[in-house]
Structure 1
């Protein structure tokens, strides 16, 4: 005799014959699908089958909606799941792309921050800017021997020296007799201000000698083992690769931004050019050779600058501002892109600078980029640099970006602004200095254009 029948989890339909003295437990019918209209319907709340013994059979009507419902559910799952998967993959891709963008945007800040921490720790172990004696510097440079001479400029000579503690330094001997420099108490106060500057993209001033006893005054700075940007570009050795050039451009922007916007009062370089951007052991750009330049509050003075890099506005007003440095930075950036060709002369003796500026104005970037790179450069970064050059060399200083804006553009944080989006009262109808029809005369500072 059948005493136990487990029909659970089968989804049966149809008729089950009645059997005498047969008892089926409630849970043996679970998970089958029958019509709820049956008096003994099999559902989670169904009564015992024993209550229906008077029936000759249990007519269990099928749940006709089961197949359609589950088929619809299956269709929904088949259609929706791929959409969900695609949406999830898209979200992951977008997140990854944005993460990469943020990493690229903040790479430079993180790198600079880490380097600043290292420099700060190292700086705390070094002596503060101090006054040296002539005997100390004479011994450091081997009596200013010719073999220690690093270079010469309009303001004096630079020697390599080694202090008693073994630190290698650069000693700049100021030629006050021939340079026309005014060395007074104000100058030395400014030197002390500069000595307090500790920034990874600015050459640190270690000390000074006031020129007692008829000797020339001197400035003692960090030694930069890789020379200057000019040296690197003119070298016949392996040329500077594009990533390093872009890094130099960014480092110089950071240094100028610090001088302009984080020093009180603001410091204007006034003589920015490739020979004044120095390279440390890691080829990090360090803004240097501005020890003889007045702070920003002194707006009118004699400044020694190189033709082509000096702001043409200076020829009109005789004043230098932060925007004068911005102009010079634009020209420096152009040199980094085009290479040493821009610094050379044509057979006629006419500088190449005008030619490269005209190519820039016409957006002929393929002809502008240094051929020594052999095509190995980032086209987007080169285009970005070209646009920054045009912004920095606008004829109206008010239209030029600040160095913090330049830095943010290089880092990808800020888009290249149009002429109307900068914080300036000048309308967008003004053009870049490099695209002016009287470019040749004004660029070289001739009186008829100025």
Structure 2
């Protein structure tokens, strides 16, 4: 037991060191990258802050706060960078500004029914704080919906949600965009039509555009959803299959409604993922098709993980089979 704990601790220390090294390496080029992104800002649609009405706060993270608001009579999600992010080192301020413009640039080029729509950028917020304005999804994150343990979210609807997410990711990969932070917190849903839920991919703060076959990796994303190749340091280049690994964990979340490794220590999770000895426990009620797809998505070797085109096709087949098994309700007079 002590050997396992020591090994996990050493692995955690190694990953933390890599994160620090990558941060230092990035500082030298951060200004030039920022200037390039800001030069391209003229292609964005700019929204005046006075045209926005903030209704309520939806959520807050380390770097930003998201509000439900109105813009020209339309419900929108307003994401503002926190003022606290602009207190401290200038290099950190520049990095956050670059991340903001990178997300805005990516969003502005995406148009798909399963990707959150982007409306524009706000430059004249209170105190000059930057913001993005995007499509508002009435039921919020899929994580929030799953936590409510909605009994109406049956297998058919969960399949539709998974399929929508796969369609959105298939589109992103067709545009050479690697998300890097795919999880139920970053999938947004609308359950207004109880028979036909809608799911869309959102939050592109960590996304990168893939120039060639591979994209620069490094330690990025949220730990339980991170592919082993992002943590083990075997290469500084990874493929879009890191998103497929994450989607395997997302399928488990949709199946169980739980959060992966909720009661495990950070170091133990890192060690388990890197050594490929840790995956979420699959419940006995899981269908064989769902199980097989999950296990193939989170396979240790990225080469054998399916593409999102294949994933979407398999989920479509599972959904059609589920529809065929559902009895038709006939109204009686």
**CA pair 151-343 structure 1, distance change in 2 beyond 3 A:** farther
Superposed, which structure 2 residues align to 1:114-263 within 5 Å? 130-137=45-52, 140-141=53-54, 148-163=56-71, 165-175=72-82, 176-177=85-86, 182-183=95-96, 188=101, 191-210=104-123, 215-235=128-148, 237-238=150-151, 240-261=153-174, 263=175
Shift of 1:203: 0.4
Q: TM-score, normalised by structure 1?
A: 0.50
1:270 alignment counterpart: 180
Aligned-residue CA RMSD (Å): 3.4
**Structure with greater strand percent:** 2
Shift of 1:215: 2.6
Q: TM-score, normalised by structure 2?
A: 0.66
- Superposed CA deviations along residues 87-141 of structure 1, whole A, max 9, x for unmatched, are xxxxxxxxxxxxxxxxxxxxxxxxxxxxxxxxxxxxxxxxx9621123334xx11
Superposed, which structure 2 residues align to 1:411-426 within 5 Å? 411-412=316-317
Which structure has more relative contact order (CA 8 Å, sep 6+)? It is 2
SS in 2 for 1:395: coil
Is 1:287–2:201 an aligned residue pair?
yes
SS in 1 for 2:209: coil
Which of 334, 337, 341 does residue 255 from structure 2 map onto?
337
2:12 alignment counterpart: none
> 1:155–1:174: 8 Å Cα contact kept in structure 2?
yes
**CA pair 185-155 structure 1, distance change in 2 beyond 3 A:** closer
Shift of 1:181: 7.2
Cα distance in 2, alignment partners of residues 303 and 285 from structure 1: 27
Which of 305, 310, 327 does residue 226 from structure 2 map onto?
310
SS in 1 for 2:257: helix
Structure 2: gaps spanning 5 or more residues: 1-42, 319-333
> 1:160–1:168: 8 Å Cα contact kept in structure 2?
yes
- Superposed CA deviations along residues 17-40 of structure 1, whole A, max 9, x for unmatched, are xxxxxxxxxxxxxxxxxxxxxxxx
SS in 1 for 2:222: coil
**CA pair 149-393 structure 1, distance change in 2 beyond 3 A:** same
Give the total of aligned pairs.
Answer: 256
Cα distance in 1, alignment partners of residues 210 and 202 from structure 2: 16
